[in-house]
Structure 1
């Protein structure tokens, strides 16, 4: 397990297990974990179940974190799993201004008559217009992509250009449908880290270009969304619109950007999604990835690579890439 980076606030929530034990919802405070099934007297409790009763249980979680009683376990003796099992994953694409500009330039046709500077200026104007017209770009991911924050990432044999996309993820606190922007943050329980892996070779349908993007193929392999290590309550994050998102590949910094570069913040994304879909407790809203992906650097993921992702106040996840065995 990676070295503990203390999350913001008095506590965080996660899913843990002792050696040979079953996963349990845990309260992390300092470097200790409290099994919330025993502490709350609910043997069947899950982390998602906590979010289904978020308003009721949040004061109790505060009390447990400051009380100090109960049977606490050392974190370094536990396995850390993905902190929650969502029913739905909503993913925001093209949400970081510089990231989109870099991607568009990287995917330019060799026959494009524009200079790089002209292309960048044109794409920047499009981004500014999208922001002004309030048009986020959101698609849906599969819960089966979720993996733990320290699990190995298996690179499928068919994925010719696997890439990283570290991003801030918001966790939904209560059902949200047709929520105004002004109230949207009231529906967010907390925040965590997601690495939304993408196979760049299969993003676009080459057989039928008119169909456009193929999100099933390029993003939904098992384990393609390492999540966590834990969820920090929203009240402990002063401004989710001003957090540092950093990804290191084999120790070298590849992504290092503030969430200030997002075109659409958390409230606008939650509100926009809720115009169409009903968000449920424990669901994830991934907010997009900043500049610095592998396609930009001309260096995609391969067997043995180690990714270390961090976001201000949310801890660090560390995953190793493993080539799929035939």
Structure 2
């Protein structure tokens, strides 16, 4: 573990939802700066043993959480507690190629010149393709909850992986069961927001033995610890507009990603609405909304053991993950 005992978590609003551990016992908690409140003993909440239980009845739990956050009883220092991933979703939805600059950079990185196009032509073609994509639904695939780890846990680089890369993303945490919700109503099913780093083994995205089958996201995305999540869920009321949040990822102190959610091709509401048109969204599910430009592959710099990633999104706290060999 890199930093499982932070002394404080900076977040928007007066409180955030967390999943903490003391002496190996995980419990749902409120976090307010440098303080934590164990919710597992709260009779008003039904003594929940997990954050999922709270998210399963979020509309009822939210006013109680607001009230508890204003009380002075039962709080303890955050220091000394282990910060776990704040949610245990049943489903993880992952939007791909949803930032304009990112799509262009990836297109250039994958171009080998065999088609005779210059770099400028590749960029222009990628930009034109994005205009066409707006006529169709967002591109979304599914990930595995087993890939999730905490915001301060080590990221394990697979021994057979060749091109591990970072992808910082804003994630919506679903707070209501939802099916076929409209874009206009989509944010109403969001309980809150969290940070996810959606790591990828770039060399496994496209299989040379089966090119006609498309991207192999199972192999590329789902190695254990490849979804650092958290540290907290910040309630939607504290960050009501996800349309202009800053995502910043530093590798060993050097800024790699630094972009606003304004650069999204499809906004958060449209991504959620599309997911709900295909599947039923369940409380506690994660909907990842894509990663901005600044990934490692276009830079020719991929992750290796000893690297440290520090990630922030406006109002949602910070992650700090060290890379280690399997």
Unaligned segments of structure 1, at least 5 residues: none
For 1:189-204, list aligned pairs within 5 A: 189-204=191-206
Cross-structure match for 1:261? 263
Cross-structure match for 1:319? 321
Q: 1:4 aligns with which of 1, 8, 14?
A: 8
Unaligned segments of structure 2, at least 5 residues: none
Work out the CA distance in 2 between the residues paired with 1:211 and 1:220. 18
**8 Å Cα contact 1:4/1:315 also seen in 2:** no
Cross-structure match for 1:87? 90
Q: 1:208 aligns with which of 196, 204, 210?
A: 210
Cα distance per residue 1:222-274 (max 9 Å; x no partner): 11100000000011003201000000000000000000000111110111111
Cα distance per residue 1:98-140 (max 9 Å; x no partner): 0010001100023131111111111101112212x14200000
Cross-structure match for 1:188? 190
> Normalising to structure 1: TM-score of the pair?
0.96
Cross-structure match for 1:304? 306
Deviating runs (4+, > 2 A) in structure 1? 1-5, 39-45
Cα distance per residue 1:18-53 (max 9 Å; x no partner): 1x2310000011211001111346444310111111
Work out the CA distance in 2 between the residues paired with 1:44 and 1:285. 24
Q: 1:73 aligns with which of 73, 76, 83?
A: 76
Cα distance per residue 1:209-234 (max 9 Å; x no partner): 11111101110011110000000001
Work out the CA distance in 1 between the residues paired with 2:37 and 2:178. 30
**8 Å Cα contact 2:42/2:48 also seen in 1:** no
Let me know the Cα RMSD of the aligned residues. 1.1
Work out the CA distance in 2 between the residues paired with 1:238 and 1:280. 21
Work out the CA distance in 1 between the residues paired with 2:48 and 2:20. 14
Cross-structure match for 2:120? 117
SS class of match (2:25): coil
SS class of match (2:31): strand
**8 Å Cα contact 1:16/1:23 also seen in 2:** yes
**8 Å Cα contact 1:4/1:316 also seen in 2:** no
Cross-structure match for 2:179? 177
